[in-house]
Chain A
Amino acid sequence: MRIERLSVRDFRNFEAGELQLGRRFTVLHGENGAGKTNLLEALYLVSTLRSFRVAELGPLVRQGAAEARVELQGHDPRVDLSSNLAVHLLRGERSVRRLAIADGKVIRAALDFYGRARAILFTPEDLGVLRGSPGGRRNFLDRVLFARERAHIADIQSYEKLLRSRNQVLRDQGTNSPSEPLLETYEAGLAATGARIWTRRERLLDQLRATFMAVFSQIHGAERRASLAYLTRLNVPDEAEREGALSDELARRRRDDLIRGITTVGPHRDDLEIRLDGHDVGEFASQGQTRALILAFKIAELRAARDLSGEPPLLLLDDVSSELDPQRNAQLFQALTEDAGQCVLTTTAPGYVHLGDAADTAYVEVSGGTLRALRSPL
């Protein structure tokens, strides 16, 4: 869906506000705390029914208000008609109730609402992923997959339960008599779901790799080569053989796992590895390089989503240009301009944004919960 207007009421620090989006770019600028990111959060909420900042939606309702509303007015190219998506957050006694409305009709199942206004988000928190824990990187991959394949959510949930169950059995063995059939039971489930998770992650990276590398060299320059790999203890190129390989390895490690009380092989121990010229990024990359790598990944994700559905998702970029030098920043905007989708970005310094004053770009000043459209960049 192409979004034309975002309206918010009693949302975060906005009492009421309306934002006309550019056909391609919308630049939100203003000082820290003005509410720029709140507007990205509003767009993200209509896309995913979640917030990227808080788990519970309570803080999204303006203090003292009983109900927050976010509404998107847009154009649905599939039917060539205008379309309206809204999310209402109703403050209850203990929690906040969420109401999703599409073209005036309440949609009860969240799954039926997702995907109507798909969005890909970049926030400065994403930068921590490369230096952070492998678990954070696995989540980073799985979140991309959740948006593409609903079955992945169910598999991740089953896998986590099977894993905790096997670990519990391993720990119980100390007191009870060993039960090989019981361990084998959980291993069979772990191997089947684990192989599906593994294969989806590998396929995702295979799909993103070429674009990721190309976009990185476009933003950062061709002198450094970025690489993207899925790190796993088992090397099994044939997808059909992965379940058997996992199952054998789980059985082989049973004795060690019994001593340690944990399961030491499977997709819960795998990692996403991004390297620069063969070096580990966590140790070697600068802030600017890290930013360019994550942005290249997000743009690759965007292009893959566009190829999959024919329609590019909305790209939300929070505080995007603060650590790139001017030349690389210009190259980032060059890369962004090539992608046909819509993009909303926030910045404290509009001078960083290299979009010119093309007719398809809207500049909006955000300050203290009010919005002011500007004719051209400052």
Chain B
Amino acid sequence: MSRPVDAKNPLQRLATLLTRLPGIGEKSALRLALFLVRADGEYVQALGAAISAIHGQLRLCSVCCDICSDEVCERCRDPRRDRRLLCVLAQPQDRMAIERAGVYHGLYHVLHGVLDPLAGIGPGELRIEELLRRLRADEVEEIIVATSPNVEGDATALYLAKLLRPLGVRVTRIASGVAVGGELEYADMSTLSRALSDRRAL
């Protein structure tokens, strides 16, 4: 039950706006708003400015569709990256996770979603046209599909493979199975089953 919001009360107005953020409920929103009331003015000004800037200054890279602040993102511009490898991901945060690991030095492509006809997301809703355009121009030799290993992620990977293989490019899928450093006995049944069926020779 939400009480009627007093629009003239700045604290309540801020708290109400904050509840729209993912993972923030009414109590958390009020706590955050009260924190900002007590925080020093400089920080609050900077936070406000950062929030205002986010829409005006951020856009999608015209090559890989990742979120960036320029026409072409820094990874697509970087001449040291391996342009023969292209890793396809569902969301910008997936790209950030792989980048943080620091083990991959090829290029990226962000689809901004996965195929899910039940949610009205077909190929036309994903950045697949942009991906095909890159293949015509670039020197890509292998596409690594790194969508999550669930029904939607697997379908997206399979669909891309069907679409891309006829173009003469090698399409691979990231492996899935038992977590590295984890204990086998704690792995769930589906993971173990996938790990066994996708086993490989030593």
Contacts and interface: CB of A to CB of B under 8 A. Distances in A.
Interface stretch (A48-56, A64-72, A168-176, A229-237): A168-176
Closest 6 CB pairs of A and B: A168-B117, A181-B162, A185-B159, A185-B158, A165-B117, A161-B151
19 contacts: A151-B189, A154-B189, A154-B190, A158-B151, A161-B151, A162-B151, A165-B115, A165-B118, A165-B151, A165-B155, A166-B117, A168-B118, A169-B122, A172-B117, A179-B122, A182-B115, A182-B122, A185-B115, A189-B155
Nearest to B164: A181
Given A111-B189, A168-B117, 13 more contacts: A151-B189, A154-B189, A165-B118, A165-B151, A168-B118, A169-B117, A169-B122, A172-B122, A179-B122, A181-B159, A182-B159, A184-B162, A189-B151
Interface in B125-181: 151, 154-155, 158-159, 162-163
Interface residues of B, number: 17
Given A151-B189, A151-B193, A154-B190, A185 B162 contact: yes
A156 to B, nearest CB: 12
Nearest to A109: B188
A160 to B, nearest CB: 10
A252 interface: no
A185 B122 contact: no
Contacts of B159: 181-182, 185
Interface string A239-276: 00000000000000000000000000000000000000
B116 interface: yes
Contacts of B151: 158, 161-162, 165, 189
Interface string B94-131: 00000000000000000000011110001110000000
A78 interface: no
B124 A176 contact: yes
A216 interface: no
A94 interface: no
A189 B158 contact: yes
B165 to A, nearest CB: 10
A184 B158 CA distance: 9
Contact of A182 (B118, B123, B154, B190): B123
Contacts of A131: none
Q: Which of A111, A166, A186 has the most CB of B within 10 A?
A: A186
Nearest to A111: B189
Interface string A163-200: 01110110010001001011011101100000000000
A105 interface: no
A188 B158 contact: yes
B5 to A, nearest CB: 24
Contact of B154 (A164, A166, A184, A189): A189
Interface of A: 111, 150-151, 154, 158, 161-162, 164-166, 168-169, 172, 176, 179, 181-182, 184-186, 188-189
Contacts of B154: 189
A181 B154 CA distance: 14
Contacts of A189: 151, 154-155, 158
A164 B162 CA distance: 21
Interface of A is mostly: helix
A164 B158 CA distance: 17
B155 A185 contact: yes
A88 B117 CA distance: 40
A150 B116 contact: no
A166 B190 CA distance: 23
Nearest to B150: A158
Nearest to A187: B158
A165 B162 contact: no
A158 to B, nearest CB: 5
Nearest to B155: A185
A183 to B, nearest CB: 10
Nearest to A170: B117
Contacts of A166: 117
Nearest to A162: B151
Given A164-B118, A176-B122, A186 B189 contact: no
Contacts of B158: 185, 188-189
Nearest to A161: B151
B155 A186 contact: yes
Q: Which of B116, B118, B124 has the most CB of A within 10 A?
A: B118
A150 B159 CA distance: 28
Contacts of B122: 169, 172, 176, 179, 182
A94 to B, nearest CB: 14
A279 B74 CA distance: 73
Contacts of B162: 181, 184-185
Contacts of A181: 159, 162-163
Nearest to A177: B124
